[in-house]
Amino acid sequence: MNGNDKGGGIAERSMGFGLRALNRLAGSDLLDRIRVRKQVERALFQGTKQGFRSATAAGRTFKAAQKLGKPARQKPGKPKGLFDITPDDEQQMFQEAVREYAAEKVRPAAQKADADASTPPELLAATNELGINTLGIPEELGGVVGEQAAVGSVLIGEALAHGDMGIAYAALAPGAVATAIGHWGTAEQEATYLPAFAGEDVPAAALAILEPTPLFDPLQLSTKARRKGGEWVLDGTKALVARATDCELFVVAAEAEDLGPALFVIESGAKGLSVEAEPAMGLRPAATGKLILEKVRVPEGALMGEGKREAYVECIHRARIAWCALAVGTAQAVLDYVIPYVNDRTAFGEPISNRQGVAFTVSDIGIETEGMRLTTYRAASLADQGRKFGHEAALARRLCAAKGMKIGSDGVQLLGGHGFVKEHPVERWYRDLRAAGVMEGALLV
Amino acid sequence: MINLEIPKKFKPLVSQANQVATEVFRPISRKYDEAEHEYPKELDMLASLIDGMNEGSDIGGAGAAGVRRESSNGDGGNRNGSNLSTVLGIIELCWGDVGLLLSMPRQGLGNSAIASVATEEQLERYGGKWAAMAITEPEAGSDSASIRTTAELDGDEYVLNGEKIFVTSGDRADLIVVWASLDRDKGRAAIKSFIVERDNPGLKLDRLEHKLGIRASDTANFTLQDCRVPKEALLGSPEIDMKAGFGGAMQTFDNTRPLVAAMAIGVTRAALEETRRCLKKAGVTVDDAAPAFGQHAAAARLLEMEADYEAARLLTMQAAWMADNAKPNSLQASMAKAKAGRTCVDVTLGCVELCGSVGYDENGLLEKWARDAKILDIFEGTQQIQLLIVARQLLGKSSSELR
């Protein structure tokens, strides 16, 4: 934390991003443990890989604990006076821990997770243990962060995706549901669902917005929610939902009768819900699937954000920032990988990096990655300060979609034929980076 | 604490610079584009005003003279200083007119060189004067280590001989900072810069260039013939330090590259704002929440250009902020210059295309900005030179390995 921004006492500071969050991190012996523990081979039946439709997970029963009179909300931070690109101390420590974890555990597991189309459960458990998915939960409901933490989420998403984007998607997807409920949930929804996300056994959950249609526009949804006898009835299909078969809880976007696009909380046990495997070009460790809603009836109280358009639009923007963060981490991974490669690889008697055609491509990867990072940070920082950030989020999105993909493509190109084969991870990054321009919803900051 | 907004304390400066751009630069922008080589006399009054702005605050001003590198950042806390404020001021002024900014008395890149490396004595002696920068020669552009102009010590004077081209404000400035070699056999380490008074009889103006853009700014070519300057006119150390090599002379560029990037940002923003207005009139607006490709192709293109602009702008602010905080920023300065230069060209040309004949004809300024833009991807190190610098840094290569 920098001198000028220092708050009053330690109590006040702990309201911010982090002492309590750090405590949780420090209290966990996870980082030591995962280094010595042998990875358990996963041989679980994976519904998503079977290609036929299956029921959603039975799921636990969520019950409202202590219900608050009105929904608890994380407060926006104070607007900051000075320009600054340094994360505060707590953010840096968090970032360091996740970076280390991503390098030690996530990257080595990435290739197999990609091939298996599933993320090992111990990696998912580890993310939960690090408290990464609690960043959007208000303190009153067991969260560890008092103020909104879009920047913190971006830093963590970036660090995790440097390990692997698909595993990051799988690991961060439940956090998106917690954050959505923390931001736009009713008091009842918060009391019912958030304690589970703040606890040890975090449920698999997904924020399902994207639909299987070309030129998808999150403001023009095909999924409809009709009012019927004090209930909502939903019909439609959602695409590329992370760990769809395992999910115990969904937040689903639908065009609500008389209201417009809105979010609904739906438990996986609801009748009429089913999932279908939807393996894709990339993000394979997230075991993506389609979520199909056929006359799914949910109570009136399932509607979030009072069906307000601003809430929904904010959700769309926050999701795009999250995907930008993953794109930045992956783009950085490409840069870090190609530099030693082009320096070691020789052709015509010298390292290929002695040639401008190769070297300038590396420069461009570096320049555009840094640009992507800064635009993403700016959008997130505005969000945390309670200021408008829709335009900045749109710019970050456009940039990360276009430049992120170019970086993925250049990464493969620099390795030539070696980039095309699975011996090197760049072909996976190529596949994953396309997602930054495709995904809507699913993750949140 | 991450915050990428314009700091509150610089808002008055930004607003002042914007007023100058709106009230002074824009109304005469076309006039001096057409009247090439005519001195924009409106700038004299303005220059005094800007001197006042620089004097009156500890946060630097709107011109290149404000930049002086911090050797340390004091208490270690976050600093927003003169590098950042100067970048912000330049963005605003170039939103008005980049050619006129380059013609601003006492705000030349030579001033920036003097501010960067001059001794206290030299600062005193040359302070308050307008200094241009003479590096390029007919046979040495980007390859500034191979310049042929020589400086020979003769008693208490250096004698300069050679030819210099593309000297911005060379005709109008009071001083010319001339790069010359003390010993052509010793390569780049022997290259030093010398302050030459404009009225030195050994400095002969050959001609002024007619240009694609920035026509308000004069671009001069000189011959130096037995041009004698006092020993004290050498900037920095007279020693030929083979180890330090080119570092001393090139150090200036770490400070000035973000300034040229800032110029590009200003021009880019001018074109984007005008195009947004133009497209709105035509019924096309950008919806930030809707995906780009569901919108009008022109809206999608505008969004794409704005995204590049945003990245370039933040890279530029980052490079300046690092200089304020005594962080080495050679890499970031070149990243900013490369991104801003190419973005400026791409965006201004894209804006002309989107606006059609309205953008292409001389009734508006879009076509002018598109012409002005190109130099910003060339001077202070071309796009290719910036990519070279970035690549060497990222790959850990020397200039002999990656040429």
CATH homologous superfamily of domain A17-34+44-203?
Acyl-CoA dehydrogenase/oxidase, N-terminal domain (1.10.540.10)
Closest-CA distance, B270 to chain A, in angstroms, reads: 18
Q: How many CB atoms lie within 10 A of CB B239?
A: 11
Asked whether the predicted pLDDT for residue A33 surpasses 80, the reply is no
Could you report the per-residue pLDDT of A281-295, keeping only the tens digit for each? 999 999 999 999 999
Domain range A309-437, CATH architecture: Up-down Bundle (1.20)
Look at B307 and A398 and tell me if their CB atoms are within 8 Å: yes
Query: A9 pLDDT exceeds 50?
Result: no
What CATH topology corresponds to A224-307? Answer: Butyryl-CoA Dehydrogenase, subunit A; domain 2 (2.40.110)
Contact yes or no for A4 and B315 at CB 8 A: no
Chain B contact set for A360 (CB, 8 A):
384, 387-388, 391
Contact B289 A317 (CB under 8 A): yes
Q: What is the pLDDT of residue A251?
A: 98
Residue A59 confidence class, pLDDT cut points 50, 70, 90: confident
Question: What is the distance between the alpha carbons of residues A106 and A114, in angstroms, rounded to a whole number?
Answer: 12
In this complex, which of A366, A374, A393 lies closest to B318 when CB atoms are compared?
A: A374
Task: List chain A residues with CB under 8 Å of B2.
Answer: 84-88, 91, 151, 377, 380-381
CB contacts, 8 Å: B311 with chain A: 368, 371-372, 374-375, 399, 403
Average pLDDT over residues A320-338: 98
B132-185 confidence digits (pLDDT tens): 999 999 998 888 778 999 999 999 999 999 999 999 999 999 999 999 999 998
Residue type for A317, please? Answer: H
Chain B contacts of A367, Cβ < 8 Å? 315, 335, 338-339, 390
Best residue of A85, A209, A323, A339 to probe chain B, by most B CBs closer than 10 Å: A85
Helix (H, G, I), strand (E, B) or coil at B336: helix
Whether residue A44 has pLDDT greater than 50: no
Give the span between the Cα atoms of A367 and B387, in whole angstroms: 9
Residue A85's pLDDT is 95
Strand pairing category for A231-241 and A289-299: antiparallel
Summarize pLDDT for A100-111 with one digit per residue, the tens. 999 999 999 999
CB–CB of A197/A134 below 8 Å? yes
Q: Tell me the chain A residues in contact with residue B289 when contact means C-beta distances shorter than 8 Å.
A: 218-219, 313, 316-317, 390, 394
Taking only the tens place, the pLDDT of each residue in B74-97 is: 566 899 999 999 999 999 999 999
Q: Which one of A4, A363, A391 has the shortest CB-CB distance to B394?
A: A363
Chain A environment of B314 (Cβ under 8 Å): 371, 374-375, 378
Tell me which of A65 and B71 has the higher pLDDT: A65
Common-topology check for domains B129-235 and B247-395: no
- pLDDT more than 90, % of chain B: 73
Overall average pLDDT of the A226-230 stretch:
95
pLDDT (mean) for A261-267? 98
Residue A327: pLDDT above 60?
A: yes
Choose the closest CB to B80 out of A82, A216, A402.
Answer: A82
- Separation CA B380–CA B279 (nearest Å): 34
Hey, where are the domains in chain A?
Answer: 17-34+44-203, 224-307, 309-437
Q: Considering CB atoms only, which of B288, B294, B315 is closest to A371?
A: B315
Per-residue pLDDT band for B396 (boundaries 50, 70, 90) equals very high
Mean pLDDT value across chain A: 89
Q: Between chains, do B318 and A88 touch, taking CB under 8 Å as contact?
A: no
Name the residue ranges covered by the structural domains of chain B. 8-122, 129-235, 247-395
Residue A49 is predicted with a pLDDT of 38
Distance from CA of A189 to the nearest CA of B (A): 26
Residue that the structure tokens 């769309």 belong to: A316
The answer to whether B317 contacts A317, with C-beta atoms less than 8 Å apart, is no
| Reported CATH class of domain B8-122 | mainly alpha
Q: Which CATH class is domain B129-235?
A: mainly beta
Instruction: Give the confidence band of A54 by pLDDT, cuts at 50, 70, 90.
Output: confident
Contact assignment for B397 to A354 by CB distance below 8 Å: yes
The sign of the CA dihedral B99, B100, B105, B107 is negative
State the pLDDT at residue B278: 97
Reply yes or no on whether the pLDDT at A37 is more than 50. no
Element (H, E) at A249: strand A249-256
Q: Which residue has the higher pLDDT, A334 or B65?
A: A334
For residue B253, what pLDDT is reported? 76
Distance between CA atoms of residues A292 and B377, nearest Å: 52
Rounded Cα distance, A17 and A19, in Å: 7
Question: Residue B315: which pLDDT band, with cuts at 50, 70 and 90?
Answer: very high
Catalytic residue list of B = 380
Beta strands in B96-174 (DSSP E): 131-134, 150-154, 157-168
Minimal Cα distance from B314: which residue of A?
A: A374
- The predicted model gives B289-293 an average pLDDT of 94
Residue A89: exposure state from Cβ atoms within 10 A (0-12, 13-18, ≥19)? middle
**pLDDT higher than threshold 90 for residue A7:** no
Class of residue A197 by CB neighbours under 10 A (exposed 0-12, middle 13-18, buried 19+): buried
CATH architecture of B247-395: Up-down Bundle (1.20)
